[in-house]
Amino acid sequence: DTAVSQTPKYLVTQMGNDKSIKCEQNLGHDTMYWYKQDSKKFLKIMFSYNNKELIINETVPNRFSPKSPDKAHLNLHINSLELGDSAVYFCASSQGGWSGNQPQHFGDGTRLSIL
Amino acid sequence: AQSVTQLGSHVSVSEGALVLLRCNYSSSVPPYLFWYVQYPNQGLQLLLKYTTGATLVKGINGFEAEFKKSETSFHLTKPSAHMSDAAEYFCAVSTTNTGFQKLVFGTGTRLLVSP
């Protein structure tokens, strides 16, 4: 059973389009995250949700809108896609967001390519 | 603010040789430190973590790391490299500035293993 699953795995689209990425975790965790990994492999957090509540928003453009319908799901919608949005987007989850010592579990990523 | 620095974007070793990947951290509070591995086209997998207690931490696949407060280091080692160890390795520090956990990653080190 996949612990953190993301769909789709690959997303190729044109500039200006709107797209969504879905994430689900079956670990019973209460905190979920979105990360962006650029072409140089640098990983940076974008958002974090705890029990459906937004707790971290790292100055991401408001074209990016996360939504958490329940604590097992965290989706990412991106409006008006730009070339600079090309990256791999990772979803992750952890137990107990208040405690910094819990490891985060990552999905396999969604590779977004903007033409 | 907490941060990590990984020295060397690429490290090359021969199969059977010692693996040493360097990580130095900056933190104003006792840090929680993690090492993750990323295989091609996959998400990040936890290798090991340091929270409190024993400073020598053992992880999966024969890796270990030693927390040295005086040197602000958390270097990753493995006595004998295998071809299957070739991957990207990330050191991360956990911050809880806002009360919730946020992982700050280093820039990664690609480990190359030659026969």
- For chain B, say whether A98 makes contact (Cβ under 8 Å): yes
Residues B54-76: tens digit of each pLDDT: 899 999 999 999 999 999 999 99
Q: What are the phi and psi torsion angles at A12 (to 5°)? A: -120, 125
DSSP codes joined into one string, A66-88: EEEEETTEEEEEE-S--GGG-EE
What band does A38 get if pLDDT is binned at 50, 70 and 90?
Answer: very high
Q: What are the phi and psi torsion angles at A107 (to 5°)? A: -80, 180
A-chain residues near B51 (CB < 8 A)? 101
| pLDDT score recorded for residue A98 | 67
A-chain residues near B100 (CB < 8 A)? 31, 48, 50, 55-56, 97-98
Is there a contact between B100 and A109 if contact means CB atoms under 8 Å apart?
no
Is there a contact between A103 and B46 if contact means CB atoms under 8 Å apart?
yes
Helix ranges (DSSP H) in B1-115: none
Provide the shortest C-alpha distance from residue A69 to chain B (in Å): 20
What band does A86 get if pLDDT is binned at 50, 70 and 90?
Answer: very high
Q: What is the mean pLDDT of residues A5-28?
A: 96
Residues A91-109: tens digit of each pLDDT: 999 987 666 778 899 999 9
Q: What is the mean pLDDT of residues B35-46?
A: 93
Provide the shortest C-alpha distance from residue A14 to chain B (in Å): 22
What band does B98 get if pLDDT is binned at 50, 70 and 90?
Answer: low
Q: What is the mean pLDDT of residues A33-39?
A: 94
Candidates B38, B101, B108; nearest CB to A102: B101
- pLDDT cut 90: percent of chain B above it: 77
